[in-house]
Amino acid sequence: MSAEIRGDFDTKNRLILALRPDAISFLEERAIVRRLTQGQTLYQEGAGVTHAIFPHEGVVSMMAEMQNGRRVEKVSVGNEGFVGICCVLGGGDAISTDIVQVEGYASWISIKDLDEAYAAYPCVGFTLLHYAKTLTVQLMESIACNALHGAEQRVCRWLLSAHDRVNSDSFRLTQQAVSEVLGLRRATVSTICKALMDRGALEYSRGLVTITDRRLLEETACECYCRIKKAFVVGGTTGIASSSVKRVKTPIICE
């Protein structure tokens, strides 16, 4: 388990920010904020879920593990969602192996405290169920994307989603991680990244990716990026957030 963060920090998770102020205070008082470190396993598939984990920055991949040892991403989670979706789908054990791909920080909220929030604040249940629906949209779009779109389009889509979930144009991400989450050969990812570097879309050095031309990435990515982005608009469109809640200027973007 990563170290607890003490002191002030910025609440950036879009689900939490979409709640009413009293519900936000309830959850923040009970949350434990911890670092997300690259390569960290938050839950192993089949393990008991004790906490819902709400990222404020960073990217977590919900991975499927095959008998031959290969892994591939089912969907990814950032500050638009939370890890531990089974707790709003009838309970049970973790349905994936959840691995941090891009470092950041998150709030750990116990299932007991989340159940209390459900009972006390209807907006909590409404918001989390809405997220479960949009996560399903992301999953279905990802299936279509993997079948219909090329490797370069998918790499650009994933890089854009990672960029949306961090507070900087630069973030640590290995090409090996990208190849694993997208089910691509490492050499394929390397060739794509080199081509994007040559075109000025990004810089890459020793595991540090810097987005230098986001518009070029958007033009190269497949349509799935925008389709999933639209599904993850929470807050004002759901009617659950109070007008006194701090609004984020950027749209809610998922994968």
pLDDT, position 2: 64
Number of independent structural domains in the chain? 2
- Percent of the chain at pLDDT above 90? 67
- What mean pLDDT is predicted for residues 182-190? 95
Same domain, 205 and 221: yes
**In the predicted model, is pLDDT for residue 251 greater than 90?**
no
Residue 251 lies in a domain: no
Same domain, 137 and 87: yes
* Torsion sign across C-alpha atoms 184, 230, 61, 103: positive
**In the predicted model, is pLDDT for residue 255 greater than 60?**
no
- Percent of the chain at pLDDT above 70? 88
The b-or-e profile of 192-209 (16+ CB within 10 A means b, else e) is: bbeebeeeebbebeeeeb
Same domain, 88 and 39: yes
For residue 209, give the CATH number of its domain.
1.10.10.10
Spatial contact of 219 and 203, defined as CB atoms under 8 Å apart: no
Letter for the amino acid at 38? Q
For residue 115, give the CATH number of its domain.
2.60.120.10
* Torsion sign across C-alpha atoms 214, 219, 221, 225: positive
Give me the helices (H) in 54-107, please.
none
> What H or E segment, with its residue span, contains residue 116?
helix 111-120
Q: Model confidence at 226, in pLDDT bands (50, 70, 90)?
A: confident
pLDDT (tens digit per residue) in 120-143: 999 999 999 999 988 988 888 888
What is the span of the domain harbouring residue 43? 14-146+229-237
Residue 37 lies in a domain: yes
Same domain, 159 and 135: no
Spatial contact of 197 and 120, defined as CB atoms under 8 Å apart: no
Residue 73: CA count within 13 A, CB half-sphere: 26
**In the predicted model, is pLDDT for residue 237 greater than 50?**
no
- What mean pLDDT is predicted for residues 244-249? 33
